[in-house]
Homo-oligomer: A and B are copies of this chain.
Amino acid sequence: MVKQVLYLDDLKVGDTFVSEKYSLSADKIKNFAQEFDPQVFHCDENLAEDTFFKGLAASGWHTAAITMKLLTESLPFAHGIIGAGGEINWPQPTRPTDNLYVRSTIKEIKYSKSKPNQALLFVETETLNQHNEICQKLDSKLLSFKKSTT
């Protein structure tokens, strides 16, 4: 089966993409945290009980990294997913038992004035758990190219 890839020509506002699921675990949370965010509420179940999070929670940047993994699997953009930046929020903590998936919607397409084969896509990506609670909301600006672009 040839994987379908989408060029700028193929995309329109309102297009929505949903990923498969990703199972978290306490070990995954702690491994990521040891390397990148070694704070007690991301590293130790017992000590985390007495913190703001009242239990082990994933680093927000771990949730962001998992979101990116799920985006690479669910946004079949030609030339890949190239982000210029965005706004990120974590309405609630991501927990060890969470089974995450992402849902992305194209909110706006802004064509480049100087590069007619290119546009910025404004994409809203929600990262949801098994209860459909939003653990992360990301409004990102992604580059997209027309098919004729090499």
Q: Is B90 a contact of A83 with CB atoms below 8 Å?
A: yes
Indicate if A68 sits at the interface (CB-CB under 8 A): yes
Closest to A40 in B: B80
Name the B residues within 8 Å of A86 (CB-CB): 87-89
Range of interface residues on A (Cβ < 8 Å):
20 to 34
Indicate if A1 sits at the interface (CB-CB under 8 A): no
Determine how close the nearest CB of chain B comes to the CB of A131; give it in whole angstroms: 21
Over the window 71-107 of chain A, the binary record of Cβ atoms lying under 8 Å from chain B Cβ atoms (1 yes, 0 no) is: 0100000011111111111100000000000000000
A81 contacts which of B39, B81, B90 (Cβ < 8 Å)?
B39
Name the B residues within 8 Å of A88 (CB-CB): 85-88
